[in-house]
Structure 1
Amino acid sequence: MTGLSSVVREVHVAVAVVIRDGRVLIARRPDHVHQGGLLEFPGGKVEPGETVQQALIREIAEETGLSVSESSLEPVIGIRHDYGDKRVFLDVWRTQDAAGVAEGREGQPVEWVLPDELRDEDFPAANRPIIRALRLPAVLPITGAIGNVTDGVSALRASLARSSAGLVVLRAPALAPVEYLRLSRHSLPECSEAGVGLIVHGGPAMYRETPGAAGLHLPGREAAALSARPISHGAWLGVSCHDAGQIAHATALGADYVTLGPVKPTATHPEAKAIGWDEFRRLAAAARVPVYALGGLGPDDVTRARDEGGQGVAGIRFWWPEL
């Protein structure tokens, strides 16, 4: 009718990331359904009266024949997405304790795939932050005080030797740009030998001038000056955020993850006011990208961060020596 606008209701969808031996269970959507032909994670609409956990247990059993316990389910990320003809809230949870043999009980082919083999173009657009969350580590170390290149490389080598990081953010604000580039180029072989991806910190030029870097982490001031993603989608893009507006801008830039904090008071940034876990939970719930809790945290806080809707924790002091 002329003059009336239709209201598109949001559909609450429970999504299961079922992990076994480091591989993730995926299926292909039937051609005749919404987003047909694309890959998907098990799951479906949360029915009236159901909790999301109950929906996950039911959907996993109906679609794959696997059984999971409610206690094995852990939150991963929540994603709101507008397809134009359909709005969905993807409530994503993981389990590593599914019993049985997986099969496509609705006629869909299923397979176990390594997270690094998941490609954006094979999934509906709303699923892409899930892929980021699966490929990103739970702990994101950040380098601490670095006064010169020699000491910085030495400290990085020592820190890598006693950690199991998958990625490291190379942050050294005290160094002049030319010295930072020397540091990043000398740090690449150290990270490569340890099997760790090096994410450079600063503006886009730092990434362009460091061939072989795994990605770029933008400080808030650098992100604020940009209107589009400054690097290719084949590399990681992170952004430092402190509030909802900065998270929204990072998302618009195409960030793969953000850090958010400080959650607790921290010695490295004593002037920054802590936001606390309640505010972290609120902001992470509204984010459409994986969110790392930052500030006074360490690996022991990963479970809390995930319970509050985060990807995990990022930080300095838990792994970086005092120089």
Structure 2
Amino acid sequence: MTKLVQVAVAILMQPNGEYLLASRPNGKGWAGWWEFPGGKIESGETAEHALIREAQEELGITPTHIQPWIKRRYDYPATHDAEAKTVLLHFFFVHAWQGKLQAREGQQFAWQHPRKLNVSPVLPANAPIMQALSLPPVYAISNVQEMGEHAFLQALKKQLDHGLQLLQIRESQLDDAALAKLSEEVLQLCAPYDCRCLLNGSSEKALQLGYHGVHFNSERLGTLTQKPNHLLVGASCHNRAELEQAQSLKLDFALLSPVLPTKSHLETSGMGWEKFGETLSGMEIPVYALGGMQAEHLSLALATGARGIAMQRACWI
């Protein structure tokens, strides 16, 4: 019977969004492969305590600002230098620490930009996490219909100045000419900030207008048979089955909503955080929480396993 090993894993984050990878030292299984630093949770030890102990032993630092994130299970096959095992990885964001990084086990360190990985090979269990980290924690959704175009573009410029990196244009009320005009202004505004823009609609229209990606509503998702090429692809989901459909198509991410009461869904009170977390459990696809989100909900969304939050109104205030 394959043994289960519980592991605490640290995602050390720099203010600029870079995260730390470390090479596995000689003498250990998978030596030379890159991973997030961490180690085995000992009997009677909490994951948080194991994270701090391992950081002190391996890296010479003491984490001071820890944010629990997701758990991932992975089955490692036997290799010439390691036996088969199943790991349950407890991932934590580490935003601050005391001390200076030290390679106490002879490992190498590399700070990585989420969208520009330049080390290899990477341990297989870490690959889905890196995919999730390539997405920012906040996904903004346009609100031209309520705000008006001028006010929206002003608010967008303000958010870009504050670091916005992912935007969905969702304006079904616009005809083709008006959408093309808005799209041109938005894409020009976002380009210097490297903010990726997705169109809520068809992949054909997204490509035609020059968007970086496309976002499908749940109805379009239900008819999709393969992921469009050359686009970042997201989808709106409202239950586990729709999330599994998005994952089976290998979409880049999904939204799950509504979590809390929202003006867009006055007929429902929302699923709440407990059900949201249960619905996400075990999913590999990065998921954003949507519905009644405010900036202060980000830490709670991360703790339930989400990649972050999506907001349509609160981000433009």
Which of 51, 66, 76 in structure 2 is aligned with 1:73?
Answer: 66
Distance 1:295 1:21, change over 3 A: closer
SS at 1:288 equivalent: coil
Q: Is the 8 A contact 1:11 1:88 kept in 2?
A: yes
Q: Distance in 1 between matches of 2:191 and 2:311?
A: 21
Which of 7, 27, 32 in structure 2 is aligned with 1:13?
Answer: 7
Establish whether residue 265 from structure 1 lines up as the match of residue 261 from structure 2: yes
Which of 33, 51, 54 in structure 2 is aligned with 1:38?
Answer: 33
Distance 1:229 1:111, change over 3 A: same
Per the TM alignment, residue 248 of structure 1 is displaced from its structure 2 partner at its CA by 1.8
Match of 1:4 in 2: none
Q: Distance in 2 between matches of 1:250 and 1:287?
A: 10
Distance 1:178 1:248, change over 3 A: farther
Per the TM alignment, residue 90 of structure 1 is displaced from its structure 2 partner at its CA by 2.0
Distance 1:228 1:104, change over 3 A: farther
Q: Distance in 2 between matches of 1:187 and 1:20?
A: 29
Establish whether residue 135 from structure 1 lines up as the match of residue 130 from structure 2: no
Match of 2:282 in 1: 286
Q: Distance in 1 between matches of 2:57 and 2:35?
A: 15
Aligned amino acid, residue 58 of structure 1: R
Moved more, 25-34 or 105-114: 25-34
Establish whether residue 175 from structure 1 lines up as the match of residue 174 from structure 2: yes
Q: Distance in 2 between matches of 1:28 and 1:100?
A: 20
Distance 1:210 1:34, change over 3 A: farther
Q: Deviations over 1:223-252 (max 9, x none)?
A: 2222333234xx532221111122222222
Q: Is the 8 A contact 1:102 1:110 kept in 2?
A: no
Gaps of 5+ in 1: 1-6
Q: Is the 8 A contact 2:156 2:316 kept in 1?
A: no
Per the TM alignment, residue 43 of structure 1 is displaced from its structure 2 partner at its CA by 0.8
Distance 1:11 1:313, change over 3 A: same
Per the TM alignment, residue 196 of structure 1 is displaced from its structure 2 partner at its CA by 2.5
Q: Distance in 2 between matches of 1:132 and 1:270?
A: 34
Aligned amino acid, residue 215 of structure 2: H
Q: Is the 8 A contact 1:25 1:112 kept in 2?
A: yes
Match of 1:26 in 2: 21
Q: Is the 8 A contact 1:120 1:128 kept in 2?
A: no
Aligned residues: 307
Map 1:231-242; keep pairs closer than 5 Å.
Answer: 231-232=229-230, 236-242=232-238
**CA-atom RMSD in angstroms:** 2.8
Q: Distance in 2 between matches of 1:134 and 1:37?
A: 22
Per the TM alignment, residue 262 of structure 1 is displaced from its structure 2 partner at its CA by 0.5
Q: Is the 8 A contact 1:258 1:289 kept in 2?
A: yes
Aligned amino acid, residue 223 of structure 1: L
Q: Is the 8 A contact 2:235 2:255 kept in 1?
A: yes
SS at 1:73 equivalent: strand
Moved more, 218-227 or 170-179: 170-179
Match of 1:216 in 2: 214
Map 1:1-323; keep pairs closer than 5 Å.
Answer: 7-22=1-16, 23-30=18-25, 33-69=28-64, 72-83=65-76, 85-118=84-117, 122-146=121-145, 151-152=148-149, 154-163=150-159, 164=162, 165-176=164-175, 180-211=179-210, 213-232=211-230, 236-272=232-268, 274-320=270-316
Q: Deviations over 1:181-219 (max 9, x none)?
A: 5543342112224552212222322332233x3322222
Distance 1:103 1:162, change over 3 A: same
Distance 1:181 1:86, change over 3 A: farther
Distance 1:119 1:13, change over 3 A: farther
Aligned amino acid, residue 204 of structure 1: S
Q: Distance in 2 between matches of 1:120 and 1:102?
A: 19
Q: Distance in 2 between matches of 1:83 and 1:182?
A: 51
Q: Is the 8 A contact 1:143 1:169 kept in 2?
A: yes
Per the TM alignment, residue 143 of structure 1 is displaced from its structure 2 partner at its CA by 1.0
Per the TM alignment, residue 179 of structure 1 is displaced from its structure 2 partner at its CA by 5.1
TM-score, normalization by structure 2: 0.85
* Identity among equivalent pairs (%): 32
Q: Distance in 1 between matches of 2:185 and 2:14?
A: 37
Q: Is the 8 A contact 1:181 1:209 kept in 2?
A: no
SS at 1:96 equivalent: strand
Q: Distance in 2 between matches of 1:209 and 1:272?
A: 36
Q: Is the 8 A contact 2:52 2:63 kept in 1?
A: yes
Per the TM alignment, residue 109 of structure 1 is displaced from its structure 2 partner at its CA by 1.1
TM-score, normalization by structure 1: 0.83
